[in-house]
Amino acid sequence: MSASTRLWDKGEPLDARVARFTVGRDPELDGQLIAYDALASAAHATMLRKIGVLGAEELSGLLRELAACAAEARRGEFGVAADEEDGHTALENRLTARLGDAGRRVHTGRSRNDQVIAALRLWARERLVELTGRLLDLVQQLLSLAEAQRETTMPGYTHTRQAMPSTLGHFFAAHAEGLLDALPWIRTAFAHVDRSPLGSASGYGVALPLDRVLVAELLGFARPQANTLAVQNDRGRTEYLLLAVAALIATDLGRLATDLIGFSSDELGYVRLAAAVTTGSSIMPQKRNPDVLELIRAQAARLRQRQAEVAAIYGGLASGYHRDLQLTKEPLLEGLSGVIDLVAVMGRVLETLQVDAERCRAALLPATAATDEVYRRVAAGQPFRLAYREVAADPAGAVGSEGAELWRARCHLGAPGALDLHDYRAALHEGRQWVATKGQHLAAVWALLTSALAPDGDAGGEP
């Protein structure tokens, strides 16, 4: 490791094995954060210009170079060398190599501790909007299936045993409602990360009149997060919250996957998975397997583990920054990107799902009419428990009605006979508006960098 690349290097040699160990996966993981780090650096530099730390030309040079770095990072061309320790170091090295003293001044008033939190929050804000958009696409698919199958009689299950007559539409609507429940949690997580950490520095501020409100505004954050130590204590905690939301959604998808694996079994055959989403066996020529659903389920299990991993890392730490926190980066980056992938993949499965309404109907066991027979007697004035006991003595003998009649008779709020998709559609519409508004807001923030690349050379202008 060369002496000059590490920001804190004072000439004493660092053991190569220790260097590798402490750097860990940072060069690779930080590749995903460079563009966000550049954006945050542009806001920070703009503020430094305002308080007189940078000259006008220094600022325009920095904005131009940061814009170039962000563009390279987006094309996957901004490499972080292992001997640079992390992305923040690579960025500063690059600015210094290109701009000299302007590059040496950019770290004034900040620490890598607030720098990394800023990049992670900017990254997470965009991922949450992307996740919401994809989740709403999936909800829309589930609602279409619910609408199309609202009359498809099938058994409703408890304990994976037939319980009562129901419909396939009711089943799909239940999953749509469950996923919609995640929206307020996503918004809470968004609000949590929508606070600027910059100015926290290492956790105790700096002896400069930093304008933290300006930096927050430039980055489109709702406000700065106030207490500089609270900012540092939030590392790990934010990751835990974001992964809780990711795990909540992934777990719902895992359960939907389990349902669909069962429903598409040879024995039940209520639905069929399209060839395009099933995979074959190397030995049994006839097989088409639901590997995709099994992996959704397993990835959901992993996501729950990712959340636990973060809790274990940050849970016992004293206040302030500790290098332990570096290891919360991998679970966050992989977990939040991972859940977006799960939602998208489940979308592919539902898009091509075929329903066999006849098999759904034919599977319904006559004995599932037993509870309805009890209620017929209750309606005639018999006490429930007596009616229950009489029917229990001969459940098969109670049969008379068709399954469809039975679920249609359950027409109170939320029951299969009163499937009302209207409220879900309203929630969907409202969610789409949130995605559009936030998406525009977050996209506009990048003008801080893109305007520096504009042909008129107006690199950022006056702060």
CB of 120 to ligand ARG, least distance (A): 9
In the region spanning residues 367 to 426, those forming contacts with ligand ARG, defined by CB under 6 A, are none
Is 102 in contact with 95 (CB distance < 8 Å)? yes
Selected binder of ligand ARG within 323, 354, 393, 413 (CB under 6 A): 323
CA distance 244 to 301: 12
Q: 3-state SS of the chain?
A: CCCCCCCCCCCCCCCHHHHHHHHCCHHHHHCCCHHHHHHHHHHHHHHHHHCCCCCHHHHHHHHHHHHHHHHHHHCCCCCCCHHHCCHHHHHHHHHHHHHCHHHHHCCCCCCHHHHHHHHHHHHHHHHHHHHHHHHHHHHHHHHHHHHHCCCCEEEEEECCEEEEEEEHHHHHHHHHHHHHCHHHHHHHHHHHHCEECCCCCCCCCCCCCCCHHHHHHHCCCCEECCCHHHHHHCCCHHHHHHHHHHHHHHHHHHHHHHHHHHHCCCCCCCEECCHHHCEECCCCCCCEECHHHHHHHHHHHHHHHHHHHHHHHHCCCCCCCCHHHHHHHHHHHHHHHHHHHHHHHHHHHHHCCEECHHHHHHCCCHHHHHHHHHHHHHHCCCCHHHHHHHHHHCHHHHCCCCHHHHHHHCCCCCCHHHCCCHHHHHHHHHHHHHHHHHHHHHHHHCHHHHHHHCCCCCCCCCC
- Comparing CB distances to ligand ARG, the nearer of 169 and 335 is 335
CB of 34 to ligand ARG, least distance (A): 13
Nearest Cα residue to 250 out of 327, 146, 334: 334
CB of 309 to ligand ARG, least distance (A): 15
Tell me if residue 281 is catalytic.
yes
Selected binder of ligand ARG within 33, 131, 303, 325 (CB under 6 A): 325
Number of residues that bind ligand ARG (CB under 6 A): 10
Tell me if residue 159 is catalytic.
yes
Q: Is 192 in the site for ligand ARG (CB under 6 A)?
A: no
Stretch that binds ligand ARG, among 320-328, 361-369, 373-381, 435-443 (CB under 6 A): 320-328
- Comparing CB distances to ligand ARG, the nearer of 26 and 309 is 26
In the region spanning residues 18 to 77, those forming contacts with ligand ARG, defined by CB under 6 A, are 26
CB of 226 to ligand ARG, least distance (A): 21
- Comparing CB distances to ligand ARG, the nearer of 269 and 320 is 320
CA distance 67 to 91: 11
CA distance 386 to 288: 49
CB of 114 to ligand ARG, least distance (A): 9
Selected binder of ligand ARG within 41, 46, 113, 299 (CB under 6 A): 113
Stretch that binds ligand ARG, among 67-75, 189-197, 260-268, 322-330 (CB under 6 A): 322-330
Q: Is 10 in the site for ligand ARG (CB under 6 A)?
A: no
Selected binder of ligand ARG within 326, 360, 424, 459 (CB under 6 A): 326
- The two structure tokens encoding residue 59: 């600022």
- Comparing CB distances to ligand ARG, the nearer of 110 and 377 is 110
> Helix crossing, 237-263 with 112-148: angle to 10°?
20
Q: Is 321 in the site for ligand ARG (CB under 6 A)?
A: yes
CA distance 258 to 375: 32
Q: Is 329 in the site for ligand ARG (CB under 6 A)?
A: yes
- The two structure tokens encoding residue 316: 């016992």
CB of 96 to ligand ARG, least distance (A): 18
Selected binder of ligand ARG within 112, 192, 195, 304 (CB under 6 A): 112
- Comparing CB distances to ligand ARG, the nearer of 85 and 194 is 85
Stretch that binds ligand ARG, among 90-98, 110-118, 208-216, 388-396 (CB under 6 A): 110-118
Residue 411's alpha-carbon distances to 217, 365, 374, 417, 419, in angstroms, are 51, 21, 17, 4, 8
- Comparing CB distances to ligand ARG, the nearer of 58 and 85 is 85
Selected binder of ligand ARG within 45, 95, 116, 214 (CB under 6 A): 116
The one catalytic residue among 60, 107, 144, 159: 159
The one catalytic residue among 4, 265, 281, 319: 281
Q: Is 93 in the site for ligand ARG (CB under 6 A)?
A: no
CB of 356 to ligand ARG, least distance (A): 52
Stretch that binds ligand ARG, among 289-297, 321-329, 371-379, 454-462 (CB under 6 A): 321-329
Stretch that binds ligand ARG, among 108-116, 176-184, 336-344, 449-457 (CB under 6 A): 108-116
Stretch that binds ligand ARG, among 62-70, 111-119, 160-168, 384-392 (CB under 6 A): 111-119
- Comparing CB distances to ligand ARG, the nearer of 22 and 144 is 22
* Catalytic center residues: 159, 281
Site for ligand ARG, rule CB under 6 A: 26, 86, 112-113, 116, 321, 323, 325-326, 329
